[in-house]
Structure 1
């Protein structure tokens, strides 16, 4: 999880490859089933989109994934208490970035409905609202700037593998 343009999809895909796990991107699922996100926001509103997002998270977590799964959550997915409840007990990685890290990806982007044409101010406002939730939900925080998706994914994997071994050991006792 993390803010828009933090690399959730690309890092998540790379992490799944490293771990030999499945990969799912909830935004991709929503677009596939309901159409482009900006159109959903325009026609149905943010609340309806968050409903679709919560359903996508619930669906992917309910599926069978014998090798595990890495899920890229939309930037606002964890705003819903039911989503936070569903991901509790899983490793949740917060990809932390600053505006300077994401600006090249966002400036001029027309597919980010929450930016409202003022990318930096809107992004910073969203982060002020979301950062406390991200930090509360996260079981691991990784600074996601300054490396490729593969490098960030390897950093995540290097930290997750020992955590998973510890969790497995605790479950046996």
Structure 2
């Protein structure tokens, strides 16, 4: 596959745990398909400031509300070249967000603690991981995994693969029709 050789038939939404590669894979997939790439964390930061500051000043709920509003706005817009959207790790826990994801390719990017630990090393911008990062990450995954698994139309492991390799597999799965799409709202 070459850049732009595979066009997306509908938006692709990437979700999964923090540091699973959503942004890196999203950039690679957008480059491969010629689609527009957007990252909800970056959009929230552009509008409201750094995520740790939002958490400190207003709490997680305010951040999640801002995130839900950004997702709703992006998915309501036209994206003539196609859209690859990377979601924040906890965004799909909100029912209102899940309900907006009908009719899109919902890709769960899986990763283990051993995979993400090197990516999180030295990161001070993860408000939900202060203190014991490993146990905090694992506890988040225990709560989020069932939602990720039930929501996914395609699930891929990103642990020992490059973003480009994962992007190629996503494009191939979509092109071959192996990525099922639910048309209705998801709850």
Give the shorter-chain TM-score range: over 0.9
Q: Report the Cα offset of residue 107 of structure 1.
A: 2.7
Higher helix share: 1
Q: 2:72 aligns with which of 51, 54, 58?
A: 58
SS in structure 1 opposite 2:176?
helix
Q: Report the Cα offset of residue 149 of structure 1.
A: 0.9
Q: 1:75 aligns with which of 82, 89, 93?
A: 89
Aligned to 1:156: 170
Which ranges of structure 2 fall in alignment gaps of 5 or more residues?
A: 1-14, 182-187
Aligned to 1:30: 44
Please give the residue correspondences for 1:123-162 in structure 2 after superposition, counting only pairs within 5 Å: 123-162=137-176
> In terms of mean alpha carbon deviation, does 44-53 or 59-68 score higher?
59-68
Which ranges of structure 1 fall in alignment gaps of 5 or more residues?
A: 168-173
Aligned to 1:116: 130
Give yes or no for contact 1:107–1:119 (8 Å, CA) kept in 2. no
Q: 1:13 aligns with which of 27, 30, 35?
A: 27
**Structure-1-length-normalised TM-score:** 0.92
Q: Which runs of 4+ in 1 moved over 4 A?
A: 164-167
Structure 2: distance between partners of 1:149 and 1:9: 9
**Count of aligned pairs between the two proteins:** 167
- Give CA deviations for 1:102-158 in whole Å, capped at 9, x if unaligned: 000113311000002211000000000000000011000001111111111111111
> In terms of mean alpha carbon deviation, does 100-109 or 134-143 score higher?
100-109
CA RMSD of aligned residues (A): 1.5
